[in-house]
């Protein structure tokens, strides 16, 4: 199963769904595709569209997924990466009205350099990434949260 995470930001994000639909129609993708679509409304004869999914169920779907295709939102990415999933990530872009700025592009590029996922950039065809994903070994996620918490605790203690 392929799990697609579009996030819950209020603007639509159709770009990845259009490509996935084409690959399903062509038979390139033949397995079940479940989409957490948020505010993106699209009908599909190939994909199961679910606007909002309970977090516990979403985690379970992520565990079961062979591949996760995700918007480059930090929470969605980190959740899948922490589960050791093979992820293809795509940034919502402001030039298409998919987000208010291009912070997801920054996240995409930084996390890609850390080898957490395969980045799906505008000049890259999804089918080529799907051909690479089976041989891709993602790096284990390393959180900076403890370091930040210690820094803040030290700062507060110094006051």
8 — phi, psi (to 5°)? -120, 15
24 — phi, psi (to 5°)? -65, -45
Domain residues of the chain, as ranges? 2-158
Count CB-CB contacts under 10 A for residue 93.
17
pTM of the model: 0.90
Q: Let me know if 122 is exposed, middle or buried by CB neighbors in 10 A (0-12, 13-18, 19+).
A: exposed
CA distances from 118 to 42, 52, 99, 158 (A): 25, 25, 21, 42
Q: What is the pLDDT of residues 109-147, one digit of tens each?
A: 999 999 999 999 999 999 999 999 999 999 998 877 777
* The CATH number of the domain covering residues in 2-158: 3.40.50.2000
Confidence bin at 152 (pLDDT 50/70/90):
confident
37 — phi, psi (to 5°)? -90, -15
Q: Residue 33 in 3-state DSSP? A: strand
Q: What's the pLDDT score for residue 128?
A: 97
């Amino acid at each position: 199963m392929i799990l697609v995470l579009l996030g819950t930001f209020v603007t639509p994000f159709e770009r990845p769904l259009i490509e996935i639909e084409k690959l399903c129609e062509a038979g390139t993708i033949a397995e079940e595709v479940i989409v957490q679509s948020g505010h993106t409304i699209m009908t599909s004869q190939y994909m199961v569209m679910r606007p909002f999914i309970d977090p516990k169920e979403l985690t379970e779907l992520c565990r079961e997924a062979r591949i996760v295709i995700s918007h480059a939102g930090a929470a969605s990415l980190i959740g899948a990466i922490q589960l050791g999933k093979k992820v293809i990530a795509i940034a919502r872009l402001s030039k298409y009205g998919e987000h208010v700025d291009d912070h997801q592009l920054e996240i995409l590029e930084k996390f890609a350099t850390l080898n957490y996922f395969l980045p799906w950039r505008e000049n890259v065809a999804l089918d080529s990434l799907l051909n690479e994903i089976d041989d891709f070994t993602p790096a284990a996620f390393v959180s900076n949260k403890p370091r930040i918490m210690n820094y803040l605790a030290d700062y507060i203690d110094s006051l």
